[in-house]
Structure 1
């Protein structure tokens, strides 16, 4: 227990230092990218790091409450537009999984591992299903860790340096600092939203549950405050640290080939997403940057943070991301049972 705590504190310390360094340099989304970069390097240098899932979930609630305080509900697609976008999400997922499966099969992965490596979903759920179906879990974890790290880095840099957007540090909207009553309401959003999200089995419940609760209390409005800026910066640093720590224990000489394959697929997947987003943007008349984020294969929290930092409609981006995760949660297990039902071990 003490050893795990020390590993956690070391990871947080390295992540915070990386975030501060990137903030001084002036990179986009510095606290998350800096923490991710620093802890990834530390992981490959074999430093003993650990990031409990509980810590990530707790900090995800902070981001969820903050996102809810700035989300513009007018950007959320409705009616026929929502139906069309949902159908496009299904098409996008089917195409990505199919192409990914072919890619990993050609790279020498077995059929089951190729499927789970190709699915652009939450790592925790994928690992459970992959283990049940007899996939090579180490390869699956490495592929998805690389996917998330490459997606967050490449898109944040592309938004600023290729699309010319001002991607800044993620901070709450300007306003009065929260008083004790405001803080109590925000904490209530985090707790009640998380519990409701788990009970209703919402995708990414520790993020989406508090986000919805925060939208409600700000719309009434019970409060107009957001979590303190220092807390939001800390949440981003923990989020970035969580990504970097996924590489802890990875020995480059043992997994170099798998890591190279993972990075090639992550970059290829981003190019495919960019092409898909460009086509959809042209057909529907929506902004390319919003489409790129909406369909990007990152985590909901990471992509939402990029949307807020780049001043892109969070309502639009988060809606498509939630549809993507919902499809994976609802349709994914059905596909797994159809394809690998006889291989499931428990």
Structure 2
């Protein structure tokens, strides 16, 4: 078996994409996708626990710098995809965000961007970073790759009261966000309520591992269904563009880690993992294997994802006024 990040999502996305390329009659209801996106929102919110609160003071500077990191990397990425790759403004914007494969694909598609290009950009970024970093750290710090930890407990081991609370967060979060017309309500609303109840200490549970796996399969399959009739040449061009974007993000991450290391004295390796454009679980595992502060790395990735998922759609609405409400780019 090949150990890749986000295996359920990327595996289903690749498989359905191949089927689409073979012109199989593939389709997936949008309503089912929305329900599964709610599950991913609950999962993201469950990363905020009371254990991180006492340590936030020591991490204040690096955590606050994440806002600048997102702005700088996003701005440079937008310029790169817009000017050098000839992507439309919406697609460039959501492709350039430094994180969130499923979140940026879902939100970008809803806003009119080309979700095929966005999903390929983020999937390739994650694959490249996760499959490259272990080898680099093996050379630098004798890192020995290990098996990735699973997310969540089996469904039979999650207490019923926790399941009820998470379900309430999912339902209430979605409808509250929908009622307030918050962009990407299916992700943002449940994530905010989930974060609140976890920070309050009311629960420590994640959604069941089986449900998380199903959610990733459905979201990945939904992405793959968008490739019906798309040529291999299109995929190849998208990967070439994504590689350049990944190199840019990695270089910016290295720069931020170096500057913060010199200013704060924090470990350069931990800072680089905290800012690296990879997955939360995978970057945290590498930190744990290197005897670095895995909570430090995980918290930075959680905050980065939170900033992107909450702020990116809102900022897009502002920029959309400057762009003159561009047309949908799905057919580009």
TM category, shorter: 0.7 to 0.9
Q: Which position in structure 2 is the counterpart of 1:69?
A: 46
Structure 2 gaps of 5+ residues are: 96-103, 138-142, 262-269, 289-293
Does residue 192 (structure 1) correspond to residue 133 (structure 2)? The answer is no
**Distance in 1, Cα, partners of 2:156 & 2:111:** 46
Q: Hey, what does 1:118 align to over in structure 2? A: 92
* Match runs of 1:203-218 below 5 Å: 204-218=184-198
Corresponding position: 1:102 with 2:83:
yes
CA shift, 1:47, in A, is 1.5
* Structure 2 CA distance for aligned equivalents of residues 287 and 118 of structure 1: 27
Q: In the aligned structure 1, how far is the partner of 2:111 from the partner of 2:4?
A: 37
Do residues 278 (structure 1) and 262 (structure 2) align? no
Q: What's the RMSD between the two structures over aligned residues?
A: 3.4
**Partner of residue 40 from structure 1, selected from 17, 40, 54:** 17
Deviations 1:33-85 (A, max 9, x none): 32222122212111122233322221222233334334344476875545433
Partner residue of 2:228 out of 248, 261, 281: 248
Counterpart for residue 268 of structure 1: 244
TM-score by length of 2: 0.73
Cross-structure match for 1:149: 123
| Residues 198 and 204 in structure 2, CA contact (< 8 A), matched pair in contact too | yes
Report the Cα offset of residue 147 of structure 1: 1.1
Is the Cα contact below 8 Å between 2:148 and 2:281 reproduced in 1? no
Structure 1 position 208, deviation (Å):
3.5
What is aligned with 1:291? 275
Look up the SS of the partner of 1:315 in the other structure.
helix
Distance 1:53 1:168 in 2: 31
Q: What secondary structure does 1:198 align onto?
A: helix
Match runs of 1:114-193 below 5 Å: 114-120=88-94, 122-123=104-105, 126=108, 140-163=114-137, 166=146, 168=148, 170-172=150-152, 177-193=157-173
Answer yes or no: is 1:54 the counterpart of 2:28.
no
1:284 is displaced (CA, Å) by 1.4
Residue 98 of structure 1 and its aligned partner are, at CA, apart by 1.4
Tell which deviates more after alignment, 186-195 or 48-57: 48-57
In structure 2, what is the equivalent of residue 317 of structure 1? 301
Q: Distance in 1 between matches of 2:285 and 2:220?
A: 15
Distance 1:92 1:280 in 2: 11
Q: Distance in 2 between matches of 1:79 and 1:201?
A: 31
Contact 1:175–1:225 (Cα < 8 Å) also in 2: no
* Counterpart residue number, 1:225: 205
CA apart distance, 1:124? 5.5
Distance (Å, rounded) in 2 between the aligned partners of 1:35 and 1:339: 35
What residue number does 2:72 align with? 91
- The yes-or-no answer on 1:329 pairing with 2:303 is no
Call closer, same or farther: CA 1:128–1:217 in 2, change over 3 Å.
Answer: closer
SS at match of 1:249: coil
| Distance (whole Å) between structure 2 residues aligned to residue 100 and residue 318 of structure 1 | 25
Q: Does 1:236 align with 2:236?
A: no
5+ residue gaps, structure 1, are 1-23, 106-112, 131-136, 297-302
Asked if structure 2 preserves the Cα contact closer than 8 Å seen for 1:176 and 1:225, the reply is no
With normalisation by structure 1, the TM-score equals 0.70
How much does 1:216 deviate? Answer: 3.0
Q: What is the DSSP-based 3-state SS (H/G/I as helix, E as strand, rest coil) of the residue aligned with 1:282?
A: helix
